[in-house]
Structure 1
Amino acid sequence: MLRIFQDGSSLLFCLKNNRRIIINLLLIALFISLLFISPNRLVLSAFSQEVKTDDEVISHSSTQQPIYIADFYEPGCQECERVARLLEQVIFEYPQVEIRKFDISTPEGVTLAEQLGELYGVSEYDRLLVPMLYIGDNYLLREQITYESLISAIDEIKGVEFPPPWERVKEDQDSVQQRLIERFQSFGIGAVAISGLIDGINPCAFATIIFFISYLALIKRTGRELLLVGGVFTLAVFLTYFLVGAGALRVVTSLSFLPLARKIFIFVTAAIGIILGTLSLLDYLKYKRTGQTSDATLQLPPRIKELIHSTIRKNVKISSFAIMAGVTGFLVSILELACTGQIYLPTLIFISQVPELRANALLYLLFYNFMFVVPLILVFLFTYWGTSSQQWAELTKKNYGKVKMAMTILFFGLAILLIMTGFLF
């Protein structure tokens, strides 16, 4: 797939011969990142760090009739962060609004979400999804939650006395647990597999492993070493998501600085994609003009190239790269926690707390997370093949221009996707 820079080129050491181009590209990428991470967003991120945890009410003092909103969220869910910013704006404009947040990844959160879903007539396939808001007699789910829909729901009950949604539930917890158990027992392994595959589409993880494996190929690492590093990265993602699902990393995933760190990480990764895409495009244009590959923008002088390879081979063990890959996989997973689009994961998390069904639930959770990393495994293997295959190397030489254009589209596509992710959420 990717023989990214011919003959072991490296961006870092291209500075000597292409300093002006690289510096300008970095400044442009930084400007784009700062443009999307606007001051208002930073203020909102700072404000959100003051948001109280579950079972604590967020409000401003007001003498008006209070309006209660139940907000169901999941730590690390980018869509939930978008809704949190909307709610912060609503609180400033409607001081009588009081919001209570509930974490759907906890048994208590799942129980209440199921109770309110039953009370409000929400489909059983939707009631455990997040973000979900309950206001008065209405509920808003995911893409339905906009500034306009929030204001409309608030205006509809303004001045009317409505009890808090969390105080309206009358169903006992035993019947809720029994319903969740029955739902769990109705799950087919195929449905869980499809859910894991869908939720496993993670552009940040894809971009990271592509850059990782490509870099190792640049410095002439062998096929086995590429497999080891890619495997460690994928395993780290798998274990991290499994531990998050099992509740073992709740303290880490609830850290207040993660939303801002996630946004910075997304835009930095996007900036790398923009730089690589631009340099690949320059190489393509040079090739079309001269028909030569030797003067590529990303080409290193042979003496420097050999020095880099020699130094890395002597001083950096593959175990160091493996450790780096594992740490990177963990950090990417924490910063890019998936916001599940199905009912399966919240249900599995809840059922894993039921002693007699814990083993089955954890088995399903393991399978869900395995399917979750299958797209990542495919990207990893495809990238590995593209950076180590002799057939691909020969094909690249014969179709240099087409390969460079494909790389340009790939890098720019990843960058655009990442920027959209960071900007929208």
Structure 2
Amino acid sequence: MKTILTNNKSNSVDQRKFYSIWTLVLLSLFFVIFISQISSPYTINSFAASTSSSINSPVYLAYFYEVGCHDCEKVKIILGDIFAKYPDNLIIESFDINLTDSMELAESLGELFQMPEEKRLLVPVIFIGDDYLFRDGITFENLEEAIQKYSNTETIAPWEKIKEKDLTAKDRLIARFQSFGLTAVAVSGLIDGINPCAFATIIFFISYLTLINRKGKEILWVGGMFALSVFLTYFLIGTGALKVITSLSFLPLVRKIFVLVTAALALILGIVSLYDYLQFKKKGNSKDAKLQLPSFLKNMIHSAIRKNVKLGNYILMAAVTGFIVSLLELACTGQIYLPTIMFISAIPDLKVNALFYLLFYNLMFILPLVLVFSFTYWGTTSAQWAALTQKNFGKIKMAMTLLFFGLAILLFYSGIYY
């Protein structure tokens, strides 16, 4: 009785700590949004002359922007000033970089103007004559200098220089998307899938299936439905989170702070994961790990598995169990999931195919789960899986540490420069 009371007390403390942390996070986000709403809009001094000037020949300017881009708002003001000074022959065309046609045009112009690949698709950027102005280079003075340069010569509009559809632009875009971005997302999903939190639940699930005498094809059916349910749940959660984060692009300050807060969170998780690794190397066991599910959530997961797998329609119950376990495990596996979603939403190259990347991430996430059920079908026991997890705990923690630090660097970079 004393042991039960002690465990209940410990679970109660863990539960209070868990809810306190999430309450603090939600209050912080509310504060950030509130501050952004009452803060004054960004303004700059107008450089426009009091009287308008004329130019002899039409000057064409292609401006690429993104809705919610803070720097783009500044450029919009500069363009208003420059147009006020040269209202007659200055033709400005604006292109939203998130539209497919605009993206391919930007890639084609970037290739034509010999723009470095790492700068293509980034905004704001302006193409004028045979030159381009990029981000900090877009000033009233630089624009006026370019206009004067081409004011006495006939020029072709940048969008007219690409007379026919550049069939190679899309291929170059796809190749670039599939380089670093796809690798980063794949590694994140795989490491999340072999997270000790996730594996502990899998091992318990297999142990319980064995205990209630589920064998052979039953394990495959149960495992397959469980994995499918986990995949769909995480994908839907990720889609919803991505939609919320993307909508923050209409509030540039909120989005920037949200990205930077997530970067700080990834950095903290990296430090804690490194601590877990060092403690494991020192003591040889993982019982003192900091990055793990609170006791009350572990008990809730185990309870859900026991209740649902006992029922007659075990395949349907495996799906229900997968859904419940996914929600409960999110406190642990979400440590990688949220920074990865932020990474996808913060990088223009990735945001275009965001759903594909989320789909790919979650396929990689359930890959270890599918393999575990497959090997269990072929005879591997839960005890062997537990021993394997314990043996490789240090390697997994080090991989998580490197991943967290990598995501933190990328998010800090994107939060500052995007």
Q: Give the shorter-chain TM-score range.
A: 0.5 to 0.7
Map 1:117-196 → 2, pairs under 5 A = 122=113, 129-131=121-123, 133-134=125-126, 137=129, 139-140=131-132, 144-147=134-137, 150=139, 153-154=142-143, 156-157=145-146, 160=148, 179-180=164-165, 183-184=166-167, 194-196=175-177
Equivalent of 1:318 in 319, 322, 341: 322
1:407 Cα deviation after fit:
2.7
Equivalent of 2:365 in 380, 395, 402: 380
Q: What are the superposed Cα offsets for residues 301-342 of structure 1, whole Å, 9 maximum, x if unpaired?
A: 8787434521576596534678999xx99x95998175249x
Q: What are the superposed Cα offsets for residues 147-193 of structure 1, whole Å, 9 maximum, x if unpaired?
A: 4x6466235258x4977xxx9757998x96x711xx43x6897x675
3-state secondary structure, aligned to 2:131: strand
2:278 matched residue in structure 1: 285
1:202 Cα deviation after fit:
8.4
Residues 97 and 277 (structure 1), Cα distance of their counterparts in 2 relative to 1, 3 Å cut:
farther
Whether 2:250 is the aligned partner of 1:257: answer yes
Q: TM-score, normalised by structure 1?
A: 0.52
How many percent of aligned residue pairs carry the same amino acid?
28
Residues 121 and 335 (structure 1), Cα distance of their counterparts in 2 relative to 1, 3 Å cut:
closer
Distance 2:177 2:248 in 1: 25
Residues 301 and 370 (structure 1), Cα distance of their counterparts in 2 relative to 1, 3 Å cut:
closer
Map 1:298-309 → 2, pairs under 5 A = 298=291, 305-309=298-302
Query: In 2, are the aligned partners of 1:266 and 1:419 still within 8 Å (CA)?
Result: yes
Query: In 1, are the aligned partners of 2:304 and 2:325 still within 8 Å (CA)?
Result: no
Map 1:341-380 → 2, pairs under 5 A = 376=361, 379-380=364-365
Equivalent of 2:63 in 61, 68, 71: 71
1:103 Cα deviation after fit:
1.8
3-state secondary structure, aligned to 1:421: helix
Unaligned runs of 5+ in 1: 1-12, 51-58, 242-248, 346-367
Equivalent of 2:348 in 321, 339, 343: 339
2:179 matched residue in structure 1: 198
CA RMSD in angstroms comes to 6.4
2:13 matched residue in structure 1: 16
Query: In 2, are the aligned partners of 1:287 and 1:401 still within 8 Å (CA)?
Result: yes
3-state secondary structure, aligned to 1:146: helix
What is the number of residues matched between the two proteins?
Answer: 343
Query: In 2, are the aligned partners of 1:133 and 1:140 still within 8 Å (CA)?
Result: yes
1:404 Cα deviation after fit:
2.9
Q: TM-score, normalised by structure 2?
A: 0.52
Equivalent of 2:266 in 246, 265, 273: 273
3-state secondary structure, aligned to 1:134: strand
Distance 1:122 1:112 in 2: 12
Larger radius of gyration: 2
1:354 matched residue in structure 2: none
Distance 1:218 1:16 in 2: 22
Unaligned runs of 5+ in 2: 1-9, 55-59, 87-91, 207-222, 309-319, 331-336, 376-381
3-state secondary structure, aligned to 2:164: helix
Residues 279 and 101 (structure 1), Cα distance of their counterparts in 2 relative to 1, 3 Å cut:
same
1:97 Cα deviation after fit:
7.3
